[in-house]
Amino acid sequence: LDIWKYFAVSHAQHEICNPLSSAKLDELIGLLELPDGGRVLDIACGKAEFLMRTTRRWSALGTGIDISPFFVADARARIDSAALAEQIEIVEANAAEYEGEPGAFDLVSCLGASWIWNGWRPTLEALSRWARPDGWVVAGEPFWIGEPSSEHLEASGHKRDSFADHAGNVRAGLDCGLRFCHAIASNTDDWDRYEGYQSLSVENYALANPDDPDLADIRRLVEHARDVYHRFGRLEFGWAAYVFRKTGA
Ligand X SMILES: C[S@@+](CC[C@H](N)C(=O)[O-])C[C@H]1O[C@@H](n2cnc3c(N)ncnc32)[C@H](O)[C@@H]1O
Q: Which of 88, 98, 10 is nearest to 49 (CA)?
A: 88
Q: Is 96 near ligand X (CB under 6 A)?
A: yes
Which residue number, 157 or 248, has a Cβ lying nearer to ligand X? 157
Q: Which residue among 28, 34, 40, 44 contacts ligand X (CB under 6 A)?
A: 44
> Which residues have C-beta within 8 Å of that of residue 207, sequence separation ≥ 6?
none
| Distance, CA of 175 to CA of 247 (rounded, Å) | 12
Return the number of the residue (194 or 232) whose C-beta is nearest ligand X. Answer: 194
- Which span sits near ligand X by CB under 6 A: 79-87, 91-99, 217-225, 232-240? 91-99
Give the bridge partners for 139, in sequence order.
110, 242
Q: Is 91 helix (H, G, I), strand (E, B) or coil?
A: strand
Nearer to ligand X, 18 or 87 (CB): 18
Count Cβ neighbours within 10 Å for each residue of 160-190 and write b for 16 or more, e otherwise. eebbbebeebbebbeebebeeeebbbbeeeb
Binding to ligand X by residue 3, rule CB under 6 A? no
Measure the CA dihedral 42/48/49/51, to 10°. 40
Among 59, 94, 118, 209, binds ligand X (CB under 6 A): 94
- The nearer residue to ligand X, 67 or 124, going by C-beta atoms, is 67
First to last CA, the chain: 46
Applying the rule CB under 6 A, the residues between 5 and 24 that interact with ligand X are 16-18
**Would you count residue 38 as binding ligand X (CB under 6 A)?**
no
Q: Quick check: 46 binds ligand X (CB under 6 A)?
A: yes
Which residue lies nearest ligand X, judged by its C-beta?
Answer: 46
Question: By CB under 6 A, is residue 45 in contact with ligand X?
Answer: yes
Distance between CA 143 and CA 238 in Å, rounded?
5
Count of residues binding ligand X (CB under 6 A)? Answer: 20
Cβ-based nearer residue to ligand X, 71 or 136: 71
Residues at the site binding ligand X, with contacts judged by CB under 6 A: 16-18, 44-46, 49-50, 65-68, 71, 94-96, 111-113, 116
